[in-house]
Amino acid sequence: MTMTQEALAPVKWEMGQPLLPQHLLAQEESLLGDASLRFQLKGLPSYGICRLNWDAAVLTQGCLQVTALRLLIQGYNRVVDYPSNAKIVSSPLELEKQHLPHVFCYVFEESASTQLRVDNYLPGSVKKINRRMLKIVLSCQQSLPQDYEVLLKTHVLIYQGSLGIFEQNNQGLWRLSDIVIPPLVQIGASPYLQKPLKQTKTLIRRFRASLTQKYSPQNLPRAHLHDVKLCMNSLQTTLRLIENLEFWDVAQGELQIHPYFVYESLQKLLSDISLFRGEWPEREPLVYQHNQLHVIFKHLFQQLLPRLKLDKTNAQTIELILENGIYSCTLPNDCVEKDSLYLIVTSSGKEQLNSDDLPKVSSKLRLQTLNDYSLRGIELAAVNQPTLGYEFGAHFQCFKLGNGSEREFIHREKSVGFFAQSALKPFDFYLHKKSSRSNDHAPMSN
């Protein structure tokens, strides 16, 4: 039940008074209310999803099986933390039965009358303590399925809300869509907003490298140099914030941050980038709306990302995505065999990929043949002191892809890939294409 007006007041204890379960429940409610109120006094919306994970292997088969869920429930002062204090009573969801399945979550708590039943109390000889586990139902129906309405006889429905909409990509693999973003208490420990934030991080690095290359060698007027430095400072600040986030699928940073701070940081970056480009910032930007995160962030990214993109050049960089145990990407349509291709290996730390652990690279469809016949794949030649025209962070390695028959397979099938292995987990991989028609210097300093 929701808190009453007096629920925040602690129980008044007196000598000789009877000690009933109602006293302990009231004291528990008071402590929960006090902790919740203190959290709310920070001034930020304090309800929504904190953590969400699922079995990735099962999801590839079109089945959603949640392995971790943590959320704060508004008005009930409850922390739902599956599997610590809650259990999922519904079966894993089969997503393939619907088009763009919308997943909803229902949370139940035992009613007060059920908690105080006589048969719930244990005799003194029993050592195990019963726990009041919350019950979770996951469904693709917007209302509680009839099969679980029986829970309402002994439980109270304390939460119902959306977990998001799932969709299939071009390869037929299921993923979380950006169409719906429920209220979040933290960004980083759940899949929400991960894709646009990673894209923003990559674009910031490239834009920062472009500023450095374009303006550092020039003797600029002091006023213009001041604008460049202000823009660079905003890029650095936002980049540090994103890099400190602990993305749910890659061990990187150690922080989970309230979405308000991420939104404000990106809004400031948008204003500074707009001013640097000679534009006036948006006159009436959308204010923060905790229940409309998909609306405000979509509007923000639609303005920010195009302003961070560089002018079209003869160089391209594409991230290799890990799916079904294979890192792969599609070759650019304008890529020809005369173009130079480079495999970029980056790390958030100082790890270096050993030469013995280099992957066997070829076209995606040819990888199984390489494995079956123990072929080495395309030649990877290390490039010392590369200058790529892009920035990949302080620690990265560069390998040039050789020519020959394996290169022909790559161009014929328009893909580059290699099998995942344990030694590759700390790293991210990019394919960098340098056009043979480019007038720029090759990605190597002599």
**296 shares a domain with 232:** yes
Q: Given 291, 308, 325, which residue is the final one in a domain?
A: 308
Q: Is there a single domain that holds both residue 221 and residue 339?
A: no
Q: Select from 325, 349, 314, 327 the least CA-distant residue to 431.
A: 327
Where among 308, 338, 372 does a domain terminate? 308
pLDDT of 443 reads: 43
Q: Is residue 418 part of a domain?
A: yes
Please tell me whether residues 221 and 170 are part of one structural domain.
no
How many of the other CB atoms lie within 10 Å of CB of 70?
20
Best CA proximity match to 235, nearest among 307, 316, 311, 317: 307
Q: Are residues 271 and 149 in the same domain?
A: no
Residue 357 lies in a domain: yes
* pLDDT score, position 127: 56
Query: How much is the pTM?
Result: 0.68
Are 157 and 253 in the same domain? no
* Residues 62 and 168 placed together within one structural domain of the fold: yes
Helix axis angle, 259-276 relative to 293-308, nearest 10°? 30
Domain shared by 365 and 401, yes or no = yes
Statement to judge: residues 295 and 324 lie in one domain = no
Same domain assignment for residues 234 and 356: no
- For residues 167 and 204, membership in a common domain is answered with no
In a domain, 15, yes or no: no
In this structure, the strands spanning 380-382 and 396-401 are antiparallel
Domain assignment present for 372: yes
Please report whether residue 97 resides in a domain: yes
pLDDT at residue 196, as a whole number: 92
Tell me the average confidence (pLDDT) per consecutive run of 10 residues in the chain, 446 residues long. 62 80 74 71 86 91 93 83 92 88 94 59 57 90 91 91 91 88 91 91 90 66 73 94 74 79 96 85 85 95 88 70 93 88 85 91 95 93 74 77 92 95 91 69 38
The whole-number pLDDT of residue 394 equals 58
Domain boundary among 308, 334, 364: 308
Two structure tokens written together for 353? 């990929």
Return all residues near 102 (Cβ < 8 A) that are at least 6 apart: 140, 142, 162, 164, 165, 180
Looking at the fold, whether 49 and 135 belong to one and the same domain comes out as: yes
Same-domain status, 299 and 372: no
Q: Is 14 within the bounds of a domain?
A: no
Q: Establish if 183 belongs to a structural domain.
A: no
What integer pLDDT is reported at residue 439 of this predicted model?
43
In a domain, 12, yes or no: no
For the chain, what is the domain count? Answer: 3
DSSP-derived pairing of the beta strands 86-88 and 134-139: parallel
pLDDT confidence of residue 285: 82
- Residues 305 and 203: beta-carbon distance below 8 Å: yes
Helix-then-strand count for the chain, H and E: 9, 18
Task: Tell me whether residue 281 is exposed, middle or buried, using C-beta atoms within 10 angstroms of its C-beta: 0 to 12, 13 to 18, 19 or more.
Answer: middle
Residue type, 161: G
Structural domain boundaries, residue 286: 194-308
